[in-house]
C-alpha cells in the first residue's frame, strides 16, 4: 500500500493541478478553496483510519480465505486470475455501494464521499473513514472462491485507483464506453442530487451491473452535487459524524425498540411511525446556492499551511506505522484529527462572524502546528 501511495500521490497532485489550471483557463470554475481542502482532509483521515484498522483492511480476509475457500488458490494463477479477481471485486463492490445508499447505517459511513458540492479530482480523494471497516462481508464470496489475499488487495487497489479519473466535469460523453464502463458522465449522475439521478450508477469500474440490476441513468441534464441535506460545514469531524448523529436522534425519538433497530437498516430517509421530520421537497435542493462563505486572507493562509504540515505528519507517520504499537498509532491519529480540525476551524470563521472579534485564532494555530511538528520530530 505504501509503495502504491509513493507513486500515486504525486500523480494525483499533478492531475489535480492540471485540472485546476484548465478550469481557470476555460473559465468553467469547478474548484473552491475550502471545498478542495475539506475533501483532501477527508482523504487524510481515511488513510489514518485504515492504518489503525488492519484487521478490517485485509486481516479478516486473510483468515477467511484459507478456511472457506472452495477452490485452491493455484486455480487463480496467471493474468486471467487477476482479471477475474478485478471483475469479481467490482461486482461485490457494486452491492456494497448500493447498500451504502439504501441502508441508513451504511449511508452514515458513505455520505462523506458525497458531501462536496463540487465535482472534481479532489472529490475522488474525499474517501470515507469507515466504509472499508463495514464492507468486508460483501467480499466473502471472493474468499469462498479461494481468491488469494494478494489478488483481493490488488483488485481492491485497482478498483479504487480507477475511480480517480471519473471525478471530473471536463470529460464529456464517451460513446460506447459510457455503456460498459463507469465514466465521468455516468459518475456525475451518481454524485448528483437531481431527483432523477438519486441512487443511480453504483458501478466502480463497470456500469453493466447497473444496467443488469436496474440502477442505471444517463446524464440528460446539468448535475447539482452534494447530499440532499447539505452539510454546510468545513469541520472534518462533523462531516464524518453528521448522519450518525441524525440516526441517534431519530432512534432516541422512536417509541418502540423494534423501530429503533429498523432506523439503522432501513433506507436513510425512512422515519418510524410517530416520528416526524422536515423533508426537503423534490427539486428544492437544486435551488440552493453552493456553500461558500468568505474566508479572510490570513485564515486562508493559516488553513493551507496547517493542512500542508498535517499532510506531512500523516506521510511520515504512515511510513513507519506498521512498526509502531497500537497505542502510538492511535495517538498519531488523534494528532492528525486535531490538525485537520484546526484547518476546518480557520476555513469556517466566515460562517461565525460574531466570534471573529473574540478569537484571533493564533492559539489554535500554534497548538495544532506544535502537535503536528512534534509528531514529525518524534518519528524521525
- CB neighbours of residue 50 within 10 Å: 20
Q: Which residue has the higher pLDDT, 74 or 189?
A: 189
325 and 194 in one domain? no
**pLDDT tens across 319-358, in order?**
888 888 889 999 999 999 999 999 999 998 866 655 555 5
- Single residue among 197, 213, 229 that ends a domain in this structure: 213
**In which domain, by residue range, is 81 found?**
2-213
Number of domains forming the structure of the chain: 2
**Beta bridge pairs of residue 192:** 225
- Single residue among 213, 228, 246 that ends a domain in this structure: 213
The answer as to whether 167 is a domain residue is yes
Residue 209 is predicted with a pLDDT of 97
The answer as to whether 149 is a domain residue is yes
Residue 2 is predicted with a pLDDT of 54
- Residue whose cell numbers read 493542512: 307
Residue 259 is predicted with a pLDDT of 81
What mean pLDDT do residues 351-370 have?
A: 73
Query: Does the structure show a pLDDT above 70 at 283?
Result: no
The whole-angstrom separation of Cα 94 and Cα 135 is 11
The confidence band for 281, taking pLDDT boundaries of 50, 70 and 90, is: low
Q: What's the mean pLDDT when you consider all of the chain?
A: 89
The whole-angstrom separation of Cα 337 and Cα 332 is 9
- Top-confidence range, 123-132, 204-213, 369-378: 204-213
**pLDDT tens across 148-182, in order?**
999 999 999 999 999 999 999 999 999 999 999 99
The whole-angstrom separation of Cα 189 and Cα 201 is 7
314 and 190 in one domain? no
Task: Give this prediction's pTM.
Answer: 0.91
The answer as to whether 44 is a domain residue is yes
207 and 308 in one domain? no
18 and 137 in one domain? yes
- As given in the structure block, the three cell numbers for residue 25 are 483557463
Q: Which long-range contacts (CB under 8 A, 24 or more apart) does 319-325 make?
A: 319/2, 320/379, 321/51, 321/52
The answer as to whether 208 is a domain residue is yes
209 and 64 in one domain? yes
Length of the chain: 380
Q: Which residue in 332, 348, 339 sits closest to 367, CA to CA?
A: 339
Contact 9, 200 (CB under 8 A): no
195 and 330 in one domain? no
What mean pLDDT do residues 222-237 have?
A: 92
Residue 262 is predicted with a pLDDT of 87
The answer as to whether 202 is a domain residue is yes
**pLDDT tens across 75-127, in order?**
889 889 999 999 999 999 999 999 999 999 999 999 999 999 999 999 999 99
32 and 148 in one domain? yes
Q: Which residue in 284, 259, 281, 285 sits closest to 272, CA to CA?
A: 259
Residue 6 is predicted with a pLDDT of 60
182 and 314 in one domain? no
Residue 313 is predicted with a pLDDT of 95
The answer as to whether 290 is a domain residue is no
301 and 207 in one domain? no
- CB neighbours of residue 138 within 10 Å: 20
Percent of the residues in the chain that have a pLDDT greater than 70, as a whole number: 92
Query: Does the structure show a pLDDT above 60 at 1?
Result: no
The answer as to whether 345 is a domain residue is yes
163 and 55 in one domain? yes
- Single residue among 159, 191, 213 that ends a domain in this structure: 213
Q: Which alpha helices (DSSP H) does 116-223 contain, by range?
A: 121-124, 131-135, 140-144, 149-162, 177-180, 184-191, 208-213
193 and 307 in one domain? no
Per-position b or e across 171-202, b if 16+ CB within 10 A of its CB: eeeeeeebeebbbbbbbbbbbbbbeebeebbb
Q: Could you give the C-alpha distances from 378 to 7, 48, 328, 354, in angstroms and in order?
A: 25, 17, 11, 38
Q: Which residue in 169, 162, 168 sits closest to 205, CA to CA?
A: 162
308 and 209 in one domain? no
**Beta bridge pairs of residue 225:** 192
The answer as to whether 374 is a domain residue is yes
Residue 87 is predicted with a pLDDT of 97
Amino acid at each position: 500500500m505504501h509503495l502504491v501511495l509513493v507513486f500515486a500521490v504525486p500523480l494525483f497532485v499533478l492531475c489535480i493541478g492540471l485540472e485546476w489550471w484548465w478550469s481557470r483557463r476555460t473559465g468553467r470554475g469547478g474548484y473552491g478553496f475550502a471545498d478542495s481542502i475539506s475533501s483532501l482532509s477527508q482523504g487524510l483521515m481515511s488513510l489514518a483510519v485504515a492504518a489503525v484498522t488492519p484487521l478490517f483492511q485485509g486481516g479478516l480476509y486473510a483468515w477467511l480465505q484459507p478456511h472457506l475457500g472452495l477452490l485452491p488458490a493455484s486455480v487463480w494463477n496467471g493474468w486471467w486470475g487477476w482479471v477475474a479477481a478485478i471483475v469479481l471485486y467490482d461486482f461485490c463492490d457494486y452491492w456494497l455501494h448500493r447498500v451504502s445508499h439504501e441502508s441508513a447505517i451504511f449511508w452514515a459511513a458513505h455520505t462523506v464521499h458525497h458531501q462536496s458540492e463540487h465535482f472534481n479530482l479532489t472529490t475522488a480523494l474525499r474517501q470515507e473513514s469507515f466504509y472499508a471497516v463495514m464492507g468486508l462481508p460483501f467480499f466473502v464470496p471472493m474468499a469462498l472462491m479461494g481468491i488469494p489475499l494478494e489478488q483481493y488487495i490488488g483488485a481492491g487497489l485497482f478498483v479504487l485507483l480507477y475511480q480517480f479519473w471519473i471525478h471530473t466535469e471536463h470529460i464529456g460523453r464517451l460513446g460506447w464506453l459510457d455503456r460498459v464502463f463507469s465514466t465521468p458522465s455516468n459518475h456525475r449522475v451518481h454524485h448528483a442530487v437531481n431527483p432523477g439521478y438519486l441512487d443511480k450508477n453504483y458501478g466502480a469500474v463497470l456500469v453493466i451491473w447497473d444496467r443488469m440490476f436496474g440502477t442505471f441513468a444517463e446524464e440528460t441534464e446539468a448535475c447539482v452535487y452534494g447530499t440532499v441535506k447539505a452539510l454546510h460545514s468545513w469541520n472534518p469531524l462533523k462531516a464524518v459524524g453528521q448522519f450518525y448523529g441524525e440516526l441517534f436522534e431519530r432512534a432516541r425519538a422512536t417509541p418502540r425498540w423494534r423501530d429503533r433497530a429498523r432506523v439503522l437498516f432501513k433506507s436513510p430517509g425512512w422515519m418510524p411511525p410517530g416520528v416526524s421530520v422536515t423533508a426537503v421537497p423534490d427539486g428544492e435542493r437544486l435551488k440552493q446556492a453552493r456553500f461558500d462563505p468568505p474566508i479572510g486572507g490570513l485564515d486562508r493562509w493559516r488553513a493551507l499551511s496547517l493542512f500542508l504540515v498535517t499532510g506531512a505528519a500523516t506521510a511520515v507517520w504512515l511510513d513507519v506505522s506498521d512498526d509502531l504499537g497500537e497505542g502510538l498509532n492511535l495517538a498519531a491519529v488523534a494528532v492528525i484529527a486535531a490538525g485537520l480540525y484546526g484547518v476546518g476551524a480557520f476555513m469556517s470563521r466566515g460562517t461565525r462572524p460574531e466570534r471573529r472579534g473574540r478569537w484571533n485564532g493564533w492559539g489554535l494555530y500554534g497548538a495544532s502546528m506544535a502537535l503536528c511538528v512534534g509528531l514529525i520530530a518524534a518519528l524521525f
